[in-house]
């Protein structure tokens, strides 16, 4: 059976089945004494609450960043392309070119070069992720070697080029 009453100070008194009578204020003071000062209790509670909030926020940020980032930034969809170029300079003896087509997963192309022995080398190739690079090399013409060897062929600059020592001109 439970009785409630008020003492002179207005504190609430309780008697629960024969236990000694204690005011609610006395119970609160005993709890404070057993667990430390009120300020320490409040401070540790606030610190614990702040730590939980910070930890929760950190988890939310990490999960958001992980979900926002693509799984593989270097892997994109198939991007088809085509390019080609060629260079032919009779004066310097340069002759080469390259062309290539891709549907995004398979590549097919060829390149060619005029060799110093007079032959033209052409390489035709295909490449994919399963069979790798496969090339077919062909040569046109017959290799020619000089019968006599002499000094290296050099080219003297023409008169219309750069003059390192400019001369003044008077008009």
Q: For the chain, what is the mean pLDDT?
A: 76
Q: What is the pLDDT of residues 2-13, one digit of tens each?
A: 444 444 444 444
Give the end-to-end CA distance of the chain in Å, rounded to a whole number.
Answer: 129
pLDDT tens for each residue of 111-147: 999 998 889 999 999 999 899 999 999 999 999 887 8
CA distance 125 to 133: 7
d(CA 100, CA 109): 4
**What pLDDT band is residue 150 in, cutting at 50, 70 and 90?**
confident
The token pair that represents 6 in the structure block: 């008020």
17 or 152, which is more confident: 152
46: region left, alpha or beta (phi > 0 left; psi from -120 to 50 alpha): alpha
pLDDT for residue 2? 44
Q: Does 100 score more than 90 pLDDT?
A: yes
Round to whole Å and give the CA distance between 3 and 61.
54
């Amino acid at each position: 059976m439970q009785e409630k009453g008020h003492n002179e100070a207005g504190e609430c008194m309780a008697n629960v089945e024969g236990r000694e009578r204690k005011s609610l204020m006395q119970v609160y003071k005993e709890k404070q004494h057993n667990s430390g000062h009120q300020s320490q209790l409040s401070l540790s509670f606030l610190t614990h609450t702040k730590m939980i909030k910070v930890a929760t926020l950190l988890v939310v940020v990490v999960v958001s960043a992980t979900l926002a980032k693509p799984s593989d930034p270097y892997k994109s969809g198939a991007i088809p392309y085509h390019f080609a170029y060629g260079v032919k300079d009779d004066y310097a003896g340069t002759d080469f070119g390259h062309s290539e087509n891709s549907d995004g997963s398979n590549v097919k192309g060829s390149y060619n070069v005029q060799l110093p022995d007079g032959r033209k080398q052409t390489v035709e190739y295909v490449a994919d992720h399963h069979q790798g690079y496969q090339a077919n090399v062909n040569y046109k013409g017959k290799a020619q070697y000089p019968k006599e060897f002499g000094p290296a062929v050099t080219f003297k600059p023409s008169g219309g080029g750069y003059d390192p020592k400019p001369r003044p001109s008077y008009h």
